[in-house]
Amino acid sequence: MKALRGRAELLCLSGPHPVPAGAGEPGLLGKTPVPPLPDPRPCPPEEQPRGWWFSEEADVFSALQEPAVCRGLEEALGTVARAMDQWGPFDGLLGFSQGAALAALVCALGQAGDPRFPLPRFVILVSGFCPRGLGLKEPILKSPLSLPSLHVFGDTDRVIPSQESMQLASQFPEAITLTHPGGHFIPAAAPQRQAYLKFLDQFAE
């Protein structure tokens, strides 16, 4: 995010699972071994789409359906855990769409005492939603998440409807919401840039 240039160092993680062509929303493989993490680097250019987990055997994902199992979720959590161990601690987490749902789950696991996921100082969730089909992890997301959060979502988002993002925001007692008139993307116009910087300024050392 250009708005953060000079204010923050970003480490970008891609989901461990490549998404097959035509699969639609990200998700995927399940039991494919996760390769070693690359050295930290700036956000990569466009590459093959990748996802954090799948909700069906057909290698697809829908945020609005209740899956029988989140296939590949443990590999996704392992990827984040190794990044936190190798390059942490991190001041904050930023996630978009399925990545926002994963970031919320990581924070919930950290708050519940999972040593793999030390709590960050804040989280920014763009087009996020409450993940479904978590099995034994489901109750973890029912407890309020006590860390500052900024929730960004579009009024015309057809992939993750705004009510889904609002439901996720309701899990954070200190939530700040930022809406925009667009759809499923990270907004970067002047009003949003100002809101990002205002939110982040409270954590400046």
Q: What is the separation, in whole angstroms, between the first and last Cα of the chain?
A: 20
Let me know: does 17 contact 49? Beta carbons within 8 Å: no
User: Catalytic residue at 14?
Assistant: no
Query: CA–CA separation, 146 vs 107, rounded Å?
Result: 9
Of 55, 97, 149, 165, the catalytic one is 97
User: Catalytic residue at 97?
Assistant: yes
84: Cβ contacts below 8 Å, ≥ 6 apart: 90, 116, 117, 118
Of 127, 149, 151, 157, the catalytic one is 157
User: Catalytic residue at 151?
Assistant: no
3-state secondary structure of 96: strand
Name the nearest CA neighbour of 33 among 16, 19, 53.
16
Let me know: does 112 contact 140? Beta carbons within 8 Å: yes
Name the nearest CA neighbour of 75 among 26, 29, 24.
29
What are the catalytic residues?
Answer: 97, 157, 184
